[in-house]
Structure 1
Amino acid sequence: MKVPLIFSVHLLLLAGLSFAAAGQTPSGAAKSILSGAADRRSLKLVVYNNDLALVNEKRLLRAARGSFELRFQDVGRQIIPASLVLETGGRLTVLEQHYAYNLLTKDRLLESYLGRPVTLERLDPRTNTRERVSGTLLSLAGGTVIRFEDHVEIDPQGTFILPEVPAEFVIQPALTWLVKASASGDCPLEVSYLTRGLSWSCDYVLTLEGGGDKARLAGWVTVNNSSGTDYDGAELSLVAGELNLVQTPPAPGRPEMTMKSFAPQLAARAMGDQMTPEQGFEYYRYHLGRVTSLPNNELKQVELFQPAGLAPRKTYRFEGAGNLYYGPLPSPPGPRQVSVLLEWENGAKNAPGVPLPAGVIRIYERSGDDAPWFLGEDRIGHTPLEEKISIRAGSAFDLLAVEKQIDYRKLSDRLRQVSVEIELTNRKTVEATVEVDEPLPGDWKITENSLPFERLQADRIRFRPKVPAGGKTRVSFTVQVL
């Protein structure tokens, strides 16, 4: 049966495991069974883009008939408690479960000694020897305050010497249940839960060849494990899509996990492995067809697909400023450069011909036997099949544009008439076609235009002038804006 649980997470100090070795809980009320990674029979990870993963694992443990405490170890430190689902195959009945998370840290350990005696070891400047002095820890708010026998010190120098670690602290997370076995023997367990601290991202490498009309696209995914535990021998799937998640405050006492808390290492690439996309619900899942290991505090790269050929189109585009329609403006300070974009359809004619997860595309060019050189990078969103991909590499060095307001008139309290000119300069040795996109506010009407235009959407038009080699072209229009 499947039981959604609110569970208990305990950190078990090695020094305090004598009761477990004896088969008793601390209170001696019931036998205790520990289950760790060695009991795993299978492990599956489904990792999402937004710092979330679904962990599913099956374990086999041997239990005697009757009640006992089950401690399920080797789980992540950032479990979402309410997401837990336990399936026992009818062999076990869950009698009790609760959630307690008190991870051992320096600050929490000191807080547990507030109002209690502590010992401070420090250097005596008079004798240049180390001494131990005892006092009472009064406060940690805004600094350390200790009352010694005849005085009080604020932020004293030295090292705390404490007699013990209180039993309520834990150093390794474990799920804890009080269960009852209907018979002695092997008990299969299947546990599923959501956890933070696992995420993935996608990176692409686009290498231009043959003057830029041909290219090869390679894709890699990077999986980041900062969940607090190792996942060895896992079946790995990655989900691309935007999940709706309810925003809830973090559980009290949950440790803050940031990139500063560890030094990630980039694992070696596993050449030849690819991830197969599979559609499910309204998302795509990319499955790695082998087991892999994800050590804690490590980044691992896996090939999404092998380098595939495609034929990108190079496009030059100038984006109007959009601020010319609200009042008279002075002449612009100088020319602006024109963006260069690479575009193609993500379909059967352009490999890899699979849905592409969101990620960063880095662009390189290789000419002959020369080493490739970096051209720029851009980010794409989740891109289904047969959708256009458009990435901005940078700005064209030899293409310049000057946009200026030629005339501004108020025809009435609400109606304005604006004349605009865009001068394009081409310093190349070949002709260039530049897409000129102009944003227009409110209700508008073009009354004069030097070139035909395309209405892209309600507030945007596009001209496509050809600019001769070493020459200039002007695009002008007059618009009435309400």
Structure 2
Amino acid sequence: MRRMIAIGVLVLGAVAAAGSPVVTLYSGGFGYVRELREVELAWEGDLLLDGLPLTMLVDSLVVDGLTVARVDPLERGSTAIEDLVGARVTVFAHGERFAGRLLATGPGLVLATADGLMFLSSYDRIVAPLPVEPPLVDHLSLKVRYRDAQPGRTEIGVRYLAEGLSWNVTYTATLADAALQLRGVVAVENRTGVEFRGAQVSLVAGEVYRPTAKAPEGLGVRALALSSEYEAAPAFEYHRYTFPEPLDLTPGVAWAPFICGTLSFTRAYRFSGGAVEVRVRFTNALAPLPAGEIRFYDEGEELFVGAAAIGHTPLGSDVDLAVGAAFDLTGERVQESRQRITDALYRDTYRIALRSAKDAPVEVEVVETLPGTWTIIDPSLPYERLDAQRVLFRVLVPAGGTADVHYTVEWQY
């Protein structure tokens, strides 16, 4: 199966070139897109990011290489100033009226008039004829206000999550005597409405917990990207978070950078009767964290590896989050016997079998939930009591091998 998937990636990525977009697809119906864009910058100004999918999760957008002050989606179905280049317009500026063909926009306007070229560093308003037909918009455009940039031609990185990207593999198995010939065909689906030409495509196999945010249904998303510093202070039995600068909360959704810091974390594996979960654990040493979703990336932010939600988390609290299911670890829970000792007393025997395809040994936490009032007898490994109904066994699973834990429990209601 891995060989078939690798062949699909090789074919799809064969036409990719330097500077091409990098698209990572997940079978859950979403993707992670990274691209480089060559832009002309001033010290500060507005930059138009065009050709983005309507299905993108706008709050996942990151612009590398710029200090972003604000992000505004442009009206869908409306005409931006940049769309008027080449049209005849009337510009009102400094109490005067100028008519001509609009040649360029940016920090100012360049207008071709009957008297020659005119540069307007500022203006009050522009009047242009209505288009014969409303523009057909099949993509999202964002206006990015930036500051503290190095003037000149440069490259910036743009990355985001988007719905509407998915893949699947179809297999054909041919049997002949005692042999089986397996062929796989990978199908990649792009329903974002945007083309990714020359893209470097990779496919992620495994159960990755998808982000819960949805692409916006209409206009109204606003990004107010101010300082990431804020004041967190107790307020009654809660915490209040105050930003250092005023925010213009226009209609729609608004967001801003909130907190930034570095924490140590550990990775763990846990089996509770279903898939073997991959868990990320850390201690909150930054500040009181309000409830929300955490999206995890790996490999230098090149790979999205899962999402999980946290509740309101005080300073110093331990956080333990499941981000996905381990591809190379499986588990099975088997009830081997049950005896009824009395009308209310039972004796059950269980076996938990773990299997690993990894190339190094790993520890898997096995969590068992027990009914009623219980007593464990004859366990094959030591256990920890987590609470009134749960116990934990720590099982070392060898590389490419299996490991079992078994126990007998007597319980009554």
TM-score normalised to structure 1 length: 0.40
TM-score normalised to structure 2 length: 0.46
